[in-house]
Chains A and B, each alone.
Chain A
Amino acid sequence: GENVEQHPSTLSVQEGDSAVIKCTYSDSASNYFPWYKQELGKRPQLIIDIRSNVGEKKDQRIAVTLNKTAKHFSLHITETQPEDSAVYFCAASRHQAGTALIFGKGTTLSVSS
């Protein structure tokens, strides 16, 4: 089955700096890669996703890149703000209705002002 590795586990940056979180996956058949932000005690919130037919996707300060050959994908947050502080999870799955997402272990991002 799929296995997703995520690094780093914690990340501290100064406000305005960029933050990068990296994930690798094992199942070459996976073709959907979402990123979630989760606040304590709440459900994961989708912030951006990418499919395997695309190498990069951007939404304002957030971007995701995908390297299918190397089986890794990354989340980039630019101009970080204190409200970006949260736990971020990457996930991977096959693009099929009955296939679950497999999550990385998470990254706790702290943005200090």
Chain B
Amino acid sequence: GAVVSQHPSWVICKSGTSVKIECRSLDFQATTMFWYRQFPKQSLMLMATSNEGSKATYEQGVEKDKFLINHASLTLSTLTVTSAHPEDSSFYICSARDPRNRVEQFFGPGTRLTVL
């Protein structure tokens, strides 16, 4: 199946700093990628849909100025958590659909963010 990678796998930062998370499709091109956030013992909540070459679409309640998404190429989307606070600590997972297999969605391994 298609492969999606994320970097870093975990990050610890101080409150007030910014953190960038990368999501890459390794063997296919993805015009659209999705970002999810998962708090402990909860479900995956869709944060935003990342569109190559255009602005991301954010879900209701997600601050677009705080969670900056850039999808500059067909294989890379980045999520930047700006001015991170302890409540932003979570598991962030990206996903994408391989256009050769339009149905299944492939997930990255996730990034564990801890804000001190």
Contact = CB atoms under 8 A, between A and B. Distances in A.
Interface of A: 32, 34, 41-44, 46, 49, 51, 89, 93, 95-98, 100-106
Contact of B42 (A32, A49, A105): A105
B49 A98 contact: yes
Contact of B104 (A43, A46, A106): A46
A106 B112 CA distance: 20
27 contacts: A32-B103, A41-B112, A42-B109, A42-B110, A43-B93, A44-B44, A44-B107, A49-B104, A89-B43, A93-B105, A96-B102, A97-B31, A97-B97, A97-B102, A98-B31, A100-B34, A100-B46, A100-B49, A100-B95, A101-B95, A101-B105, A102-B46, A103-B43, A103-B45, A105-B42, A105-B43, A106-B42
Contacts of B34: 100-101
Contact of A95 (B44, B91, B103, B110): B103
A33 B91 CA distance: 23
